[in-house]
Chains A and B, each alone.
Chain A
Amino acid sequence: MNGMAALDLAPVAPEIVLAAAACAVLVVEVYGRSADLTYRLAQASLVLTAIVLALNFPDGSVVAFSGTFVADPMAAILKIATLVIGWFLFFYLQAYLRERGRGSGEHFILGLFALLGMMVLVSAASLLTVYLGLELLSLSLYAMVALDRDSPVAAEAAMKYFVLGALASGMLLYGMSMVYGATGTLELAGIGEAARDGRDLILVLGLVFLVTGIAFKLGAAPFHMWIPDVYEGSETPVTMFVGTAPKLAAFAMAVRLLADGLFGLHGEWQDMLVVLAVLSIGLGNVIAIAQANLKRMLAYSTIAHMGFLFLGIIPGTSEGYAAAMFYVIVYAVMSLGAFGMIVVLSREGFEAERIEDFRGLNERSPWHAFLMLVLMLSMAGVPPFVGFWAKWSVLREVVAADFVWLAVVAVLFSVVGLFYYLRIVKLMYFDEPGEPALAVANPLRLVISVNALSVLVVGLFPGALLGWCLAAFTGG
């Protein structure tokens, strides 16, 4: 069976297209030396990949390459979301670099490889593919953070990111080796069979390391230390790259490893995730209050959001995973918009990353103030914005799984969270401006508007996206 299935390239077609396109763009970059051309080709590669993906949209779960790669609806939806977000990421990146006259195409090539890594990780069906995708993703991002080579802060951020990321990869690898030792297979399906009755000490130890690795990559407390420094130190669009699409891939990794691989140990990992979730939601929300730098504030808010994401995984049900998947997609879009707003406001020599820089924005540009209001309130979970539905869906699953206390803890901390989001709104609307009126180039204005308004529109009509996420797991 393996021999025949291995020859079927259709499930892997999007990845093959993206890999080939990335290599081609690399060659063009080397000989062409035109950043603009590289950017356009990179955007075209994403569109092409998305088309191929849409043409090969899987009905059910198809396993390819000797059980190392799986194409299923969950993977397809996450990949489409990744590609769409990637398109926006490239756009913001290009706008940012052009403003500063930095014509370099390396960002886009690294970006393409990072996105490829995410797609591989999302479709991983064996421990090897998980690791392969993760490292492709991480190494590209380490390099991208370090690309701002004249900035000591960026160098520090890259160093921290690399060292802690390598540590996390090491943990993950160590856990994988134990799981392999206990079950004798690398394929997640096989591990799932072997670990069905759980309770093997080595397996539990391996699980501890796997969960640690996942928590590191997502940035959940207490493994969150790298997040604020990397977010603050990187250039804003690079922060965006670290903080949005990779979360989708890390979510997929968590579901593949925990739900597909080690469901037999559900009781064990449930307890671990409860601790991680409570710590992340509490610590992220409380520390975010004290931040004066918007990127640092968003970093701590990310930590809190990752706690909410775990809430969806904790029950161990299909509906729960669907809720978490909805959460992570929504989070990535909101986060993209929030960092995008920093890009919009910043100019050469003025990074607009202090919270103070948003003072009086309503006087300077009512439209952009409104977009930021939408984004901030959505992150806080206020309806009718989509962030509310994200919180609602994970809380619903937590309550359905009889963890009412956990839901109460989570909502109480989200009230704390509301405070620091409201502070931004307060600065924008209630305070007098310190800066002159804002002038934004038209294409950028359009893209940020689409980005932020999608948060409002999907918030008003959340049915479709919620339905797709649910169908991805229940097959309905």
Chain B
Amino acid sequence: MFSDFPFLSLVVWVPILGGVWVLFLGEDNRARNARFAALVVSLLTFLLSIPLYAGFDTGTAAMQFVEHAPWVPAFNIFYHLGVDGISLPLVLLTTFTTVLVVVAGQEVIEHRVSQYLASFLILEGLMVGAFAALDAILFYVFWEALLVPMFLIIGIWGGENRVYATIKFFLYTFLGSVLMLVAFLYLYAQTDSFRILDFHDVKLGLTAQIFIFLAFLAAFAVKVPMWPVHTWLPDAHVEAPTGGSVVLAAVMLKLGAYGFFRFSLPIAPDASGELDLLMIALSLIAIVYIGFVALVQPDMKKLIAYSSISHMGFATLGVFIAFTLLEAPDGRTSAVLGLEGALVQLVSHGFISGALFLCVGVMYDRLHSRRIADYGGVANTMPIFASFMMLFALANSGLPGTSGFVGEFLVILGSFQANFWIALLAGLTLILGAAYTLWMYKRVVFGEVANEGVAGLDDLNPREFIVLAALAVAVLLFGLWPAPLLEVMGPSVENLLDHVARTKL
């Protein structure tokens, strides 16, 4: 009954058109209208995305809520949307996060309010579009177009060094994407179609696959980001306004990892198998080396940004460990664990990193500093805030019972079947992650009240409380009861493994 109604299109276009509407609400002296309108649009979008989950059939790997209409008929380009177990959680993550970002930005942003809120709404629609697109060109259009609002968000409302950061962000991601475009065009030349599912079935030689894999890697590795193309992320995060950081960490990075699931693995499975050790090595470097880098950061946002890179390394590790596992006679179960772990990690990291950035934002709004050294003893003046941040810090270190544990545990479990040393290195991160997160937490929150600024802090206001509480519920819910998430993913992951296991040569 649900699948005839174009829910996906609504979730894509309501925020985009709503964003345009908010934009025309205009001037800063009438910012209340814009704020209210943006809240309504984001809530409406979130409500519209709920039927996607409620009506989702967890028994099949086929695309659901499919919409199909001609767009550029002369070249077989279609407006083709649909979700499966891989993209659905990410779509919901996007709509959920945007509501929080809009709420969190309610009073904080005072300059060009309508442009700020409209950027986020348009960004939301474009991100959902990228997750739901089943036509390569449609995907590419969404994927590239979302750079524009993000570029403006960082550049207009960011910190001191925002212009450098945002141009670096745009150029890095664009560089990766255009190579992906060439790969799409090559695949079109082979299949005469831009349907992503047709790309999954086309036969390709190993050399062609390796080039395609590298082109995709250029696009997705920058977005994830993987070492050594991660350098835009700390800059962009640090300079972005709080909402921008949250969206970047919670959703945009997921697009890169999603790309591996949707494109790299099924389109170039043999090349992925050939190059899996490279990918595992890059992931481990991200996990371990970036973990050490995070340890020494004096700036809270930078620390969380590096921690994001390290955690995303887990996701890519979970994806590419599958190839080693599949070589073993009964490795399939473990491979499923690895892939599911990677996906859970994506969702969970979306909640946790978003929450941590919001925590930093709460403090920054009060004292206008992100430096760890400027704080100390925050628990004395902001006890409620300190408890929330404690939960998120522990979740970030992978405490059992929080969602951060589930993904990492599954990936490490899978890795153990493949190679003890890889698993050991990956396991190290549990220690490292605890070290840098909790050490930062200790310096900021515990101890004596460090200075007059901290002494004058007010605890959370109701708006901040609601936002952090919603995230706390999500972190605990998926930590204690990940079954619904795993159930949605199950058939799609199995189907993906079928594709991966079948050679295309």
Question: Does B382 sit at the interface, judged by CB under 8 A?
Answer: no
Total cross-chain contacts (CB, 8 A): 87
Q: Which residues of B contact A429 (CB under 8 A)?
A: 152, 155-156
Residues of A near B77 (CB, < 8 A) are 463
Chain A interface size, as a band, is: 20 to 34
Cβ proximity bits B156-184 to A, threshold 8 Å, 1 near / 0 not: 10000011001100110011001101100
Which residues on A sit within 8 Å (CB–CB) of B152?
429
Q: Give min CB distance, B58 to chain A, whole Å.
A: 34
A residues less than 8 Å from B181 (CB atoms)? 392, 395, 411
| A426 lies within 8 A of B155 (CB) | yes
Chain A residues with a Cβ under 8 A of chain B: 366, 373, 377, 382-384, 388, 392, 395-396, 399-400, 404, 407-408, 411-412, 414-415, 418-419, 422, 425-426, 429-430, 461-463, 466-467, 470
Beta-carbon contact of B182 and A467 below 8 Å? no
Within 8 A of A (CB), among B182-196: 182, 185-186, 188-189
A473 nearest CB across to chain B (Å): 12
Distance between Cα atoms of A463 and B189 in the complex (Å): 19
Residue from A388, A426, A430, A467 in contact with B144 in the complex, judged by beta carbons closer than 8 Å: A388
With a CB–CB cut-off of 8 A, which chain A residues contact B155? 426, 429-430
Closest CB-CB distance, A388 to chain B, in whole Å? 7
| Docked-complex contact A430 and B147, CB < 8 angstroms | no
Q: Which of B66-74, B264-272, B416-424 contacts A (4 or more CB under 8 A)?
A: B66-74
- The answer to whether A411 and B182 have CB atoms under 8 Å apart is yes
Task: Say whether B141 contacts A388, CB under 8 Å.
Answer: yes
Q: A408-B182, A467-B73, A467-B74 are in contact. Are A383 and B174 (CB under 8 A)?
A: no
A412 and B178 within 8 A (CB): yes
Q: Which residues of B contact A461 (CB under 8 A)?
A: 71
Q: B63 to nearest A CB, angstroms?
A: 23
Instruction: Provide the residues of chain A in CB contact with B162, threshold 8 Å.
Output: 430
Fill in one digit per residue for B39-81: 1 if any A CB lies within 8 Å of its CB, else 0: 0000000000000000000000000000000111111010000
Residue of B nearest to A380 (CB): B174
Chain A interface secondary structure, helix, strand, loop or mixed?
helix
Does B74 contact A382, Cβ atoms closer than 8 Å? no
Q: Is the CB of B144 within 8 A of A415?
A: no
In the assembled complex, the CB of B152 is this many whole angstroms from the nearest CB of chain A, namely: 6
Cα distance A408–B186 in the bound complex, in angstroms: 11
Give CA–CA (A367, B204) in the complex, Å: 48
Which residues of B are found within 8 Å of A384, using beta-carbon distances?
A: 141, 145
| Contact between A407 and B174, CB atoms less than 8 A apart | no
Most buried by B among A383, A419, A422, A463: A383
Whether A415 touches B178, Cβ cut-off 8 Å, given contacts A383-B140, A396-B188, A430-B163, is yes
A463/B167 in contact, CB under 8 A: no
With A384-B145, A418-B174, A422-B170 known to touch, is A399 a contact of B182 (CB < 8 Å)? yes
Given A396-B185, A399-B182, A430-B156, CB of A463 within 8 Å of CB of B71 = yes
With a cutoff of 8 Å between Cβ atoms, the chain A residues found around residue B166 in the complex are 430
**Which residues of the other chain, A, contact B178 by a CB distance below 8 angstroms?**
411-412, 414-415
Are B147 and A466 in contact (CB-based, < 8 A)?
A: no
Contact A383 B145 (CB under 8 A): yes
B70–A382 CB distance below 8 A: no
Residues of A within 8 A of B73 (CB): 463, 467
Would you list which residues of chain B between 246 and 269 have a CB under 8 Å from chain A?
A: none
Closest to A382 in B: B144
Are B182's CB and A418's CB within 8 A?
A: no
Residues of A within 8 A of B182 (CB): 395, 399, 404, 407-408, 411
Are A411 and B171 neighbours in the complex by a CB distance under 8 Å? no
Say whether B167 contacts A415, CB under 8 Å: no
Select which of A399, A426, A462, A467 is within 8 A of B185 by beta carbon: A399
Complex CA–CA separation, A425 to B73 (angstroms): 33
Alpha-carbon distance between A426 and B154 when the two chains are bound, in angstroms: 11
